[in-house]
Amino acid sequence: MTSKTQPGNYFEDFTVGQQIVHATPRTVTDGDLALYTALYGSRFALTSGASFAESLGMPGMPVDPLLVFHIVFGKTVPDISLNAVANLGYAGGRFGVPVYPGDTLAATSEVIGLKQNSNGKTGVVYVRTTGTNERGEMVVEYVRWVMVNKRDQDAPAPETVIPDLPGAVAIDDLQVPFEVTGDYDTTLAGSPFVWDDYEVGEKIDHVDGMTIEEAEHMIATRLYQNTAKVHFNQHVEGQGRNGRRLIYGGNIISLARALSFNGLANAQYVAAINGGSHTNPTFAGNTIYAWSEVLDRLEIPGRTDVGALRLRTVATKDRSGADFPLKGDDGKYDPSVVLDFDYTVLMPRR
């Protein structure tokens, strides 16, 4: 009689080159889209209205790329990060073919790097995760690295392999799933400001704040079938360091993106996640604000209808983004800063 439960993988269970097929293919439906709207209040026209999406040459409302990311990410948790100490970062996130309601998402990961920490108790695991639809087409891929416990501290350290981490996703690697053929309706989109109007270095305070409740972040995180224990179990977390359940960082990404509508309404589609860090934990009761900086304004080869903006969006807790809080004089993140997110959006041109 063998133990039937899944203990998750420990540091010594990973080998470079290992391929991991994650469980539970997940069909995304209109129900998920409605919940996503209800949980974050996103208002971008492309992912909100079928008629708007059709006017941009898509067959219907695409699933928000961040929802795709969360579902794929959730699948990897039982295999990659169930015994993780910390989510260290991600990079090179790129969205592939758009996802529509009815598509079934699955995920696989390849271990691309390993480095045991000097304390001998933990190590860093680097994986490249690929999400696919039911036709095997790539819908998202990204690299992430996590610090994972060793099961046995006496287990020998593996050879250190640190992968070349991708920088910002190259403009040639972006998928542009929509096109502007006629007049683009900035009124229906919610802002007169299009790609041409943004300047590199420009900072935008997104003004509004949103308080998060326990029920909300747990409903969202379960929707993504993300099983990380710290989000759900007050009986255990109440005894822990924080005394509270931790909010899944992806909730903050989606909330910041929804808030960014006020100032970036024409950023219709997230095409890439260049990198990101969850710089401080968030808990129920926190009010999340966001501000953004335009890091780059990029022409897309062969396209004059749509351009790309590389953005940094910073989310804060219980502090307005009006003065663009980021780091202190010591170079460390301000305690109010909970997310520093580097990503690329697609925006119609004039």
Nearer to its own copies, 65 or 113 (CB): 65
Q: Please report whether residue 154 would count as binding its own copies according to CB under 8 A.
A: no
Q: Are 15 and 155 in contact (CB under 8 A)?
A: no
Which residue of 124, 140, 220, 337 would you call a contact of its own copies, by CB under 8 A?
Answer: 220
Q: Are 193 and 260 in contact (CB under 8 A)?
A: no
Joined together, the tokens standing for residue 27 give 């069909």
Q: To the nearest whole angstrom, how small is the minimum distance from the Cβ of residue 116 to its own copies?
A: 27
Which of the ranges 118-126, 156-164, 225-233, 303-311 carries the binding residues for its own copies, by CB under 8 A?
Answer: 225-233
- The string of DSSP codes covering 95-158 is E-S---TT-EEEEEEEEEEEEE-TTSSEEEEEEEEEEE-TT--EEEEEEEEEEEE-S-TTSPPP
Q: Are 347 and 286 in contact (CB under 8 A)?
A: no
Q: Please report whether residue 263 would count as binding its own copies according to CB under 8 A.
A: yes
Interaction with its own copies in 156-185: which residues (CB under 8 A)? none
Q: Please report whether residue 241 would count as binding its own copies according to CB under 8 A.
A: no
Which residue of 130, 149, 227, 280 would you call a contact of its own copies, by CB under 8 A?
Answer: 227
In the three-class reduction of DSSP (H, G, I as helix; E, B as strand; rest coil), residue 269 is classed as: strand
Q: To the nearest whole angstrom, how small is the minimum distance from the Cβ of residue 102 to its own copies?
A: 7
Q: To the nearest whole angstrom, how small is the minimum distance from the Cβ of residue 263 to its own copies?
A: 4
Which of the ranges 176-184, 190-198, 271-279, 296-304 carries the binding residues for its own copies, by CB under 8 A?
Answer: 190-198
Nearer to its own copies, 134 or 167 (CB): 134
Taking CA atoms, 249 is separated from 63, 146, 305, in Å, by 20, 14, 33
| Number of residues located near its own copies, criterion CB under 8 A | 81
Q: Give the contacts of 275 (CB within 8 A, at least 6 positions apart).
A: 89, 90, 91, 168, 341, 342
Interaction with its own copies in 300-339: which residues (CB under 8 A)? 318
